[in-house]
Amino acid sequence: MRLPIIAGNWKMHKTVRESVDFARQLMIAYAESPDRRVIVAPPFTSIYAVAAVLMGSGIHVAAQNLHDKQAGAFTGEISAAMLVDAGCEYAIVGHSERRALFGERDDVINRKLRAAISFDLRPIFCIGETLDEREAGRTFTVVERQIKEGLNNFTADDIKPIVIAYEPVWAIGTGRTATPEQAQEVHAYIRAVMGKIYGDSLAGLLHVIYGGSVNPGTIGGLMAQPDIDGALVGGASLDVESFVKIIQF
Ligand code: PGA
């Protein structure tokens, strides 16, 4: 049994005050429930304040990115150790916006995943194809490459804390959600690839969540699919009411 995970990726939104207000309202609107795991990923500047508000609430905090080194002369970067210190339990790694806008390649993502797990920061490892890749029939090839290169040299123990987020790039921020069947097809493939590498029993425990224009109207259909274990939500996670509706799918 895989506990559903609903994670909100705030991207570059919300000041500290707005983030804290959101966290307080979320705690009021959502009573902790043992049958799902809720995560919010504020911008770096709000992590400490949000984690302090949410402490003991059963709602978890994620970072949206991290650097792969522990410390050093890396102006503008944040390490896994710093994120844990600030109150994070999770970190989004390899989001398509990081890949496309900031040039993060699979080898960089591999190092970031390694850094995260070394500090007990659970990675939310994002993979997904672009529209061109889907239209060229390359979806499976692309996600398989992203998995194999991202998890290069990872043992079965290493992958246990990892959550995989399948986020087709063409569905992110576009209002164009993959149909539940389209998403399920890729989620099943991801689980099969992980099964081939790490064995079916471990792959059966792995969380594979979906992201890309998820909203209160689409979450139910997605969650009804056997291999969809939750959602990584962008735009619709910025508003407490819509985020809570998604949590309570
Ligand atoms: P979206 O973003 O829900 O706004 O499409 C999802 C994501 O990028 O994680």
- Give residue-wise pLDDT tens across range 34-93: 899 999 999 999 999 999 999 999 999 999 999 999 999 999 999 999 999 999 999 999
SS3 percent helix, strand, coil of the chain, rounded to 5, is 45, 15, 35
For residue 2, the tally of other CB atoms under 10 A from its CB is 14
Determine if ligand 1 sits within 6 Å of the CB of residue 211: yes
The rounded distance, in Å, linking the Cα atoms of 224 and 127 is 21
| CB 63, CB 44: distance < 8 Å | yes
Cα of 234 from ligand 1 centre, angstroms: 3
Indicate the average pLDDT of the chain.
Answer: 97
Cα of 246 from ligand 1 centre, angstroms: 13
| Per-residue pLDDT, 127 | 98
Longest dimension (CA), the chain: 47
Determine if ligand 1 sits within 6 Å of the CB of residue 167: yes
Beta bridge partners of 208: 164
Atom of ligand 1 nearest to the CA of 236: 3
Residues 6+ apart with CB under 8 A from 226: 184, 188
| Per-residue pLDDT, 174 | 86
Q: What is the mean pLDDT of residues 98-127?
A: 98
Nearest 10 degrees: Cα torsion 76, 81, 86, 89? 120
Q: How far is CA 179 from the centre of its chain?
A: 19
Q: What is the mean pLDDT of residues 225-246?
A: 98
Residue 33 has pLDDT above 90, yes or no: no
Determine if ligand 1 sits within 6 Å of the CB of residue 227: no
Minimum CA distance residue for ligand 1 atom 7: 234
Q: What is the mean pLDDT of residues 150-172?
A: 97
Determine if ligand 1 sits within 6 Å of the CB of residue 234: yes
Structural fold of domain 5-247: TIM Barrel (3.20.20)
| Per-residue pLDDT, 173 | 86
Minimum CA distance residue for ligand 1 atom 6: 234
Determine if ligand 1 sits within 6 Å of the CB of residue 173: yes
- Can you give the C-alpha Rg of the chain in angstroms? 17
| Per-residue pLDDT, 9 | 98
Helices (H) and strands (E) in the chain, counts: 12, 8
| Per-residue pLDDT, 175 | 81
The rounded distance, in Å, linking the Cα atoms of 149 and 147 is 6
pTM above 0.85, yes or no: yes
% of the chain surpassing 90 pLDDT? 96
Determine if ligand 1 sits within 6 Å of the CB of residue 110: no
Q: What is the mean pLDDT of residues 164-171?
A: 96
% of the chain surpassing 70 pLDDT? 100
Q: What is the mean pLDDT of residues 126-130?
A: 97
Cα of 165 from ligand 1 centre, angstroms: 11
Atom of ligand 1 nearest to the CA of 233: 3
Catalytic residue list = 95, 167
| Per-residue pLDDT, 31 | 82
